[in-house]
Structure 1
Amino acid sequence: MCAAAAVLAFAGTLLSSGATAAPAPTPRSAEAAATRGAAEQAAAAVPLAVTFEDTFDGPAGSAVNSSRWQQETGDNVNNHERQYYTPGNANAALDGQGHLVITARRENPGNYACWYGTCQYTSARMNTAGRFTAQYGHVEARMRVPRGQGMWPAFWMLGNDLGSVGWPASGEIDVMENIGSEPGTVHGTLHGPGYSGGESIGAGYTLPNGQAFADAFHTFAVDWAPDSISWSVDGQVYETRTPADLGGDPWVFNKPFFLILNLAVGGYWPGDPDGGTAFPQQLVVDHVRVSTAGGTRTGPITGLGGKCVDVAGANSANGTPVQLYDCNGTAAQQWTVGADGTLRALGKCLDVVDGGTADGTRVQLWDCTGGPNQQWALPAARDIVNPQANKCLDVTDNSTANGTPLQLWTCAGTANQKWTTP
């Protein structure tokens, strides 16, 4: 969160980076604007395929879908935020009308302890770590933000290697942040090694005619490609960053990132609530969507006997086998070839069981994690290769029977390893 980057430990405990927040830096140069224009035109010419979407449909009062989001709990001393993030639906719940509502309250029914003593506020924060990662594409959320001094809503991303390299080496992409003292302005920011905290790289966008973001829903997005990220509000691009903006510091954004939504209360950057801040306050999220381009395409994958790569029973549960089956045009046979190296169906990834590399290791459907067991190369020879194992997607026993499981096997150039992709 704009240089705050309260960093997640993957078990769900909230940790912190120790960085402090910074005001919006000077917007990009005219040269960068020209680069942005070319990038926008190129992106507009490429069809997008949705790889992640949550429209928050469900009964009022329901918690978020745990197959898409994990909820974080705890406080954040390094940002000096005042809230305690709670689990379940206490502070994050569906409203029954297609929205997620994250509510900040001035209360502490659980008698939670914060870094400053007994917590004064509760709120919620969630992420897709271990469930979904993105690498490039269009990442957006349509939201209505809260209002009032001390409010700090954010939609942002952290590098999926956070647990091994730490912050800020993991990188952080802040798609949108708003602080209550700036009701008409949002910020888009990058954090990385050498440009985190008060040295972050970013810019702000201000609504015209004194409008406030709390008055209506707005769509906040980034368009992300290798060595380029552009920020927009309601389709209006206001900032583009490339490695040239980093003064020689490393660009750490050409890898998978996971998504984060939260509503913080107080902290170094927004300051604490004051007597004019009314509670409860709500961040209302209409949808979160990730669409990929840059070579992304969707359709059936056909192989031996003219049959299709199929998710058994059209079941999207983790661990569902992937098999050969008569082509039938169903969603269980519609595979998205992603620019991030994944093959996706039913919102999840083609996955090598347990990351195995041995001949005969089966493949399955699993939440997209960005791991090497979900990476696939498609050479011109019509193989589908897992680079980690250096082995090919293979029809077991060269059988064309419906339900034949697919597996990894040493690439042999045989018919049961040849595929036609979208």
Structure 2
Amino acid sequence: MVMVRARTLAVLVMMCLVAWGLATPAAAAGGRQAPALDKPRQGGAGIVFTGKARPRANVRLQVRARGGWKAVGRDRASRRGTFRIAVRGTARPVDRARDYRVVSEGRTSRARTVAPVAATEPTAGPTAGPVATAKPKPSDACGTLLDRPGWAGGGTYQCSFVDQFDGSALDLRSWHVMDGTTSGAACMVDTPETVEVSGGSLRLTARPAARADQCPLRKDGTRASYVTGSVNTFWKWSQQYGRFEARMRSQAVSFAGPQEAFWLWPDTRYSSDATWPASGEIDIVETYAAYPQLAIPFLHYTWNDNGGPVPGLNTAWNCLAPRGQWHTYALEWSAERLTISVDGRTCLTNTAGAASFRKRFIMSFSQLLSGTGVNTFLGGARTPTTLEVDYVKVWK
């Protein structure tokens, strides 16, 4: 993982934040909880969605469509915070599985997948006619077969990797836990205090070290006094091209230091990473406590990183994603194009066609504490801080 250190980045980002008049992390969090969506109920008239939100808050129901999320219904929560939204008629997903979520006061619920259902039998009587049935569109473990954007001749993506983190432990058949590597102000260790699966999420946490020798010695003879969690699919899974998507939440804090990432790295079973950055790295998203309103993608593929961060080419500084809220980050990757989006909004498109991205990459999630630059962690008793990952899905 590479920290954003350029002074120009700090100056320009802060200018953008001032110009936009964006809220502080505390204001973004607002003390409100994300809305909750119950398991949808299907019937002959359609689908009924229920759940909870802040009392009297407006709630919008959205369905995942090509290019992002589309609103299909709304309600206002009752005094007890409950809501009910019915989707009827042509919106009924009888042909294929669809993902739904609700949005309230800038926060999103966990997505719910509604599987295809059989057509309703006709009502008995002389006026009843045949029921038209749509040809089912297959679904898979990822929930919905997504259309391939720009794919010549059409076609769909197929699920190649999915983890909903619904169990009580990390699936070590798919994931490798980093242990003993120092990065920034902390070292990565494999303990339940730094890497945990609970409540339907992967939780990666940075916290003070449990003992003085928990982190390895640095070259200068010192040790990091904080520990953190990072996982990847090193030598267990990798893929070249496709769609990579994760729903994540970075903790809202009032101090610099926390840095989170959803990123891809070359699979060294197939190609070397010794010539980094020219060997390639795809940071789908990096979030920094010093820039609490932004998600920052970064593409590394030249020996000098194109001379530094170049918005619109290898990075973007205008992708809004306030900390303390759930956001969905996605990469569409082909030989000629990489497109990164946040909550369905395109943030960065690169068409350089670099050879660095024409090979297999592993997938990583990291909670870090920055050691240099504007986001430098200054220590103190302000940790722990946690990155939550609701799910990750990959299609090819």
CA contact under 8 A between 1:151 and 1:264: conserved in structure 2? Answer: yes
Partner secondary structure for residue 134 of structure 1: coil
Q: Per the alignment, do residues 88 and 47 of structure 1 end up closer, same or farther by CA in structure 2, a change over 3 Å counting?
A: same
Shift of 1:141: 1.1
| Matches of 2:379 and 2:185, distance apart in 1 | 15
Gaps of 5+ in 2: 14-66, 68-146
Q: Which residue of 2 aligns with 1:159?
A: 266
Q: Which residue of 2 aligns with 1:204?
A: 317
**TM superposition score normalised by structure 1:** 0.54
Matches within 5 A, 1:97-108: 97-108=199-210
| Matches of 1:24 and 1:237, distance apart in 2 | 20
1:56 to 142, 150, 165: 165
| Matches of 2:8 and 2:362, distance apart in 1 | 25
Alignment of 1:72 onto 2:185: no
Q: Per the alignment, do residues 227 and 22 of structure 1 end up closer, same or farther by CA in structure 2, a change over 3 Å counting?
A: farther
Q: Which residue of 2 aligns with 1:109?
A: 211
Q: Which residue of 2 aligns with 1:222?
A: 331
Residue type of the alignment partner of 2:259: W
Alignment of 1:93 onto 2:192: no
226-235 vs 189-198, which moves further: 189-198
1:146 to 220, 234, 251: 251
Matches within 5 A, 1:387-398: none
Q: Per the alignment, do residues 100 and 23 of structure 1 end up closer, same or farther by CA in structure 2, a change over 3 Å counting?
A: farther
Q: Per the alignment, do residues 22 and 161 of structure 1 end up closer, same or farther by CA in structure 2, a change over 3 Å counting?
A: farther
Q: Which residue of 2 aligns with 1:242?
A: 351
Q: Per the alignment, do residues 23 and 66 of structure 1 end up closer, same or farther by CA in structure 2, a change over 3 Å counting?
A: farther
**TM superposition score normalised by structure 2:** 0.57
Q: Which residue of 1 aligns with 2:233?
A: 128
| Matches of 1:89 and 1:46, distance apart in 2 | 42
Shift of 1:87: 1.2
Partner secondary structure for residue 133 of structure 1: coil
Gaps of 5+ in 1: 5-19, 28-35, 245-249, 293-422
Q: In the TM superposition, what whole-angstrom CA distance separates every residue of 1:376-395 from its partner, at most 9, and x where no partner exists?
A: xxxxxxxxxxxxxxxxxxxx
| Matches of 1:264 and 1:197, distance apart in 2 | 25
CA contact under 8 A between 2:251 and 2:323: conserved in structure 1? Answer: yes
CA contact under 8 A between 1:152 and 1:270: conserved in structure 2? Answer: no
| Matches of 1:48 and 1:150, distance apart in 2 | 37
Residue type of the alignment partner of 1:126: V
Q: Which residue of 1 aligns with 2:60?
A: none
Residue type of the alignment partner of 1:71: V
Shift of 1:3: 5.8
CA contact under 8 A between 1:227 and 1:251: conserved in structure 2? Answer: no
CA contact under 8 A between 1:142 and 1:286: conserved in structure 2? Answer: yes
1:258 to 359, 362, 365: 362
Partner secondary structure for residue 394 of structure 2: strand
CA contact under 8 A between 1:98 and 1:286: conserved in structure 2? Answer: yes
Q: Which residue of 2 aligns with 1:83?
A: 186
CA contact under 8 A between 1:123 and 1:263: conserved in structure 2? Answer: yes
Alignment of 1:191 onto 2:300: yes
| Matches of 2:374 and 2:394, distance apart in 1 | 28
CA contact under 8 A between 1:108 and 1:119: conserved in structure 2? Answer: no
Higher helix share: 1
Shift of 1:108: 3.5
Partner secondary structure for residue 208 of structure 2: coil
Shift of 1:106: 2.3
Residue type of the alignment partner of 2:272: S
| Matches of 2:348 and 2:375, distance apart in 1 | 26
Shift of 1:124: 1.0
2:384 to 271, 280, 299: 280
| Matches of 1:198 and 1:57, distance apart in 2 | 43
Identity of aligned residues (%): 27
CA contact under 8 A between 1:3 and 1:22: conserved in structure 2? Answer: no
Partner secondary structure for residue 187 of structure 2: strand
Shift of 1:93: 0.4
Q: Per the alignment, do residues 281 and 129 of structure 1 end up closer, same or farther by CA in structure 2, a change over 3 Å counting?
A: same
Partner secondary structure for residue 252 of structure 1: helix
Shift of 1:24: 5.3
CA contact under 8 A between 1:243 and 1:251: conserved in structure 2? Answer: no
Shift of 1:282: 0.5
